[in-house]
Amino acid sequence: MAVENAQSDKTQLDKFEKYLVEEFYDDYREGSISRRTFIRRVAFITGSMAAAATAMLAVGCKPIEVPAATEPIPAAETPAATPAEAAAAGAVPGAQSPLSVPEGDPALQTGDVNFESQGDQITAYLARPVEDGTYRAVMICHENRGLTDHIRDVARRFAKEGYVALAVDLLSREGGTATLDRDAVPGLLTQAGIERHVGDFAAAYDYLQAQEFVETDRIGMNGYCFGGGVTWQSITQIPVKAAAPFYGPAPDLEDVPNIKAAVLGVYGELDERITGGMQPLKEALDAAGVVNEMKVYSGANHAFHNDTGQNYNEEQALQAWKDMLAWFDQYI
């Protein structure tokens, strides 16, 4: 898939594109991704190597680090694991959390489901208790990596707590996360646009309301990083009871008065790029009378909840999970 065919060149980045370019710049500076991977991801977001160079300079790269506009797009550094390789790596490859729940847990019923959204078929991963009954539900929005094994694991963790958990693949129209070049995924997500993503979660909400095993007036939402931003924007349009966006970009502040959910915002103390902009959102929430708590977790950085990543902070991730469950117990 050529970057130039992914979308037109971006000379002005929107909120989510800027958010991701800055995130990948931080990852590059911290050594968690290589220069090659950084260039590939930015090029997929911006649409060309020339636009990628401009974006890289804008976030602080030195001229020597920036590719020439005529350079070819570098090949992927590491090919995606085959299903057999992923299975051989463990129930959830790379998982470190004591809360991790392997696929096949006998207490759960899990699998992919499909529903219609905006004229298209959307795939999502659903996990729920195996015992008959009706349960509260939570929709989960994945990070900029798409619907990964980690996010499926998070869905199973919710199911172990007595929820019906639905993790939507926002790249269903593109063939699904598992079929795609991993470095292209962030660009495809931003190219699709926030309104498409919000529409898919509105359809997911309707899907859950139609299920006999769901308490239809007790649905919440949770998302991480990019998915935290999608969660914030979704709850300005979808009447969920409660939400817990983890370190995502703020919604458009003029939309904040539309929020009906009780919101727990989760932030890392060291994640200055996101946490530093929290105060205007807090003020808008309070002014609109939205029930909210904005919690900053000491010593934690961006993506501290993801136990398959290098920023995982077990103590604070476990605390944030406990706090989210308590919040949902109170408001869902």
CA distance 56 to 67: 9
Residues 6 or more apart in contact with residue 84 via CB below 8 angstroms? none
Q: Order of strands, edge to edge, in the sheet holding 292-297? A: 108-117, 120-129, 163-168, 135-141, 214-224, 242-246, 262-268, 292-297
The residue-averaged pLDDT of 27-45 equals 91
User: CA neighbours within 13 Å on the CB side: how many for 37?
Assistant: 19
Which structure tokens are listed for 188? Answer: 């495809």
What whole-number percentage of the chain has pLDDT above 90? 80
Output the pLDDT for position 204.
Answer: 98
Q: Using the predicted structure, report yes or no on whether residue 2 has a pLDDT greater than 80.
A: no
CA distance 14 to 178: 26
CA distance 269 to 314: 15
Q: What is the DSSP letter of 163?
A: E
CA distance 312 to 161: 22
Q: What is the pLDDT of residues 117-161, one digit of tens each?
A: 999 999 999 999 999 999 999 999 999 999 999 999 999 999 999
Output the pLDDT for position 274.
Answer: 94
Weakest mean pLDDT among 12-21, 33-42, 74-83: 74-83
* Residue 61 vs residue 83, higher pLDDT: 61
Which structure tokens are listed for 269? Answer: 């103390």
Q: Using the predicted structure, report yes or no on whether residue 89 has a pLDDT greater than 60.
A: no
The domain locations on the chain are: 3-65, 97-331
The residue-averaged pLDDT of 59-65 equals 91
Q: What is the pLDDT of residues 234-243, one digit of tens each?
A: 999 999 999 9
Which structure tokens are listed for 223? Answer: 């998302």
Q: Using the predicted structure, report yes or no on whether residue 88 has a pLDDT greater than 50.
A: no
CA distance 9 to 25: 19
CA distance 220 to 240: 5
Output the pLDDT for position 78.
Answer: 63
Q: What is the DSSP letter of 48?
A: S
Q: What is the DSSP letter of 72?
A: P
Extract the runs of DSSP E, i.e. beta strands, from 187-261: 214-224, 242-246
Q: Which helix (H) or strand (E) holds 111?
A: strand 108-117
β-strand partners of 116: 121
CA 127-320-329 angle, 5° bins: 60
Output the pTM of the full model.
Answer: 0.89
Whose CA is closest to 208, among 137, 148, 125? 137
Q: Using the predicted structure, report yes or no on whether residue 4 has a pLDDT greater than 80.
A: no
Output the pLDDT for position 275.
Answer: 95
Topology, domain 97-331: Rossmann fold (3.40.50)
Q: What is the pLDDT of residues 277-307, one digit of tens each?
A: 899 999 999 999 999 999 999 999 999 999 9
User: CA neighbours within 13 Å on the CB side: how many for 197?
Assistant: 31
- The pLDDT mean for the chain works out to 92
Q: Using the predicted structure, report yes or no on whether residue 58 has a pLDDT greater than 70.
A: yes
CA 121-170-113 angle, 5° bins: 45
Residues 6 or more apart in contact with residue 278 via CB below 8 angstroms? 250, 265, 267, 294, 296
What residue type is 199 in one-letter code? G
Output the pLDDT for position 30.
Answer: 86
Which three-class secondary structure state does DSSP give residue 226? Answer: helix
Output the pLDDT for position 76.
Answer: 82
CA distance 139 to 234: 11
